[in-house]
Amino acid sequence: MRGKRYFGTDGIRGEVGRPPMTVEFALRLASAAARVLAPEGGSVLIGKDTRVSGYMFESAMEAGFVASGVDVLLTGPLPTPAIAFLTKQLGADFGIVISASHNPYHDNGIKLFDRAGAKLSDEIEEAIEAQLESPVVTRSSRALGQARHIADTRVDYQEFCKRTIPGGMNFEGLKLVVDASHGAAYKVAPRVMEDLGAEVVPVGCSPNGRNINDGCGATRPDLLQLTVTGVRAQAGLALDGDGDRVVMVDESGELIDGDRLLYILARDRLEQGALRGPVVGTVMSNLGLETALGELGIEFRRARVGDRHVLEMLKASGGILGGETSGHVLCLDKATTGDGLVTALQVLAVMRRTGASLRELVEDMPVYPQLIVNVEAADSVDVNEEPAIRDAVGEAEAVLGKHGRVVLRSSGTEPVIRVMVEGEDEETVSSVAHRLADSVRSRIDSMAASS
């Protein structure tokens, strides 16, 4: 199989107006996807987040699919996991989400789901890429597809979310701050919590097309932390721009990341006799998660970074719970893909069932100091194959000792090398991380100068 040129760890993504995020590319991608996923015609569900460029790419892809004989169902702004759910629910042949997730508004991206609401395999993505150089198909008038906006999809998704917690449970008496990052969940997230009886304080729920992820949301939870303590809420939740990840905040304003959310859910499912298979994290998951789960007798495995890799390992091992530190959590007993709102609902349900606060639910999980330093890298660099960098990593590991970890990897969504260092002492971790990042940066600069 040939390697992929456009598809990364989470679809195709980039700066709007620069290849591949151009109207012309979106049109060709729609035509290519139609040839692979619906060669005899069929239907595609298209959703998007709140970026101003979403309308442009939506129109381009709509044209490409209709020209290829594929019917187009348009939902307007909805979270990525809502499109995954609705693709299967409505019987569409595949689904499209136009979103750059946690990136700033000047970026955008395109994600695809199969008819079961799952992300495409590498083989299918490669098959689509192989069709990108073929001319855009335009069928005869009688063979063209049709496009229409479909109603009630938001309500259908909201009802699905509410059904993921135990029947009869509500959140009455619970005061929650809900930060939707001015993104795709700006309507559904507050309304689901209100429908379940919670008192909701919304922030990041007023999109204008250019403020998505701007100083708010899962990647910038400072506003949530301040608001939770300011209004004396019991908890807060922050989604990212497309709603597939979540972080939470306890009543004291402390951040509860994806690792600790995963711990809460794993322990609860174990207590309920509902846990199956190992829990799957990634190479970036905090060592404290592995330690805490081990003390409970729960097997923990590490996959490569990216929810698709976590999903693959879960399916191969028969597991139902997995996720990433960033808050991309998979509850396969509830949804086919990562869903920030569903994850938050599961955690709130544990709070309600046990009567424990969010702070109390995580107090038994240690958190090892961990620091990630991003090093800019214009081109893809296999840092683990560079002798000078391997030597620097070896030196770092020697300093950290047996309870330290070093992970270097190229980001699948940004032009950076992520340098992660973890250990027992925060000062040592910081010193080692920055020294290692300087070594990586120096080697990358040297390679660029000699090329």
Positions marked active-site: 101
Do the Cβ atoms of 64 and 26 come closer than 8 Å?
yes
Q: Quickly count: other Cβ atoms within 10 Å of residue 276's Cβ.
A: 14
Q: Report the C-alpha gap between 270 and 295 in whole angstroms.
A: 12
* CB neighbour burial string for 29-38, b if at least 16 within 10 angstroms, e if fewer: bbbbbbbbbb
Do the Cβ atoms of 259 and 286 come closer than 8 Å?
yes
Q: Report the C-alpha gap between 79 and 157 in whole angstroms.
A: 9
Q: Report the C-alpha gap between 413 and 11 in whole angstroms.
A: 9
The helix or strand, by DSSP H or E, that contains position 406, with its residue range, turns out to be strand 405-410
Token pair 């098959």 is found at 127
What's the burial of 252, exposed, middle or buried (CB within 10 Å: 0-12/13-18/19+)?
Answer: exposed
Bridge partners, 321 (sequence order): 331
3-class secondary-structure state, position 210? coil
Nearest C-alpha neighbor of 83 from the set 347, 315, 338 = 338
Q: What is the DSSP letter of 318?
A: T
Tokens of 262: 């995963």
The answer to whether the Cα torsion of 46, 50, 52, 53 is positive or negative is: negative
3-class secondary-structure state, position 342? helix
Q: Report the C-alpha gap between 321 and 340 in whole angstroms.
A: 14
Residue type, position 288, single letter: G
Integer CA distances (angstroms), 12 to 6, 110, 135, 272, 302, in order: 6, 5, 20, 39, 25
Q: Report the C-alpha gap between 252 and 96 in whole angstroms.
A: 39
Q: Report the C-alpha gap between 340 and 242 in whole angstroms.
A: 9
Q: Where are the beta strands (DSSP E) in 174-295?
A: 175-179, 199-203, 235-239, 246-249, 255-256, 279-282
3-class secondary-structure state, position 45? strand
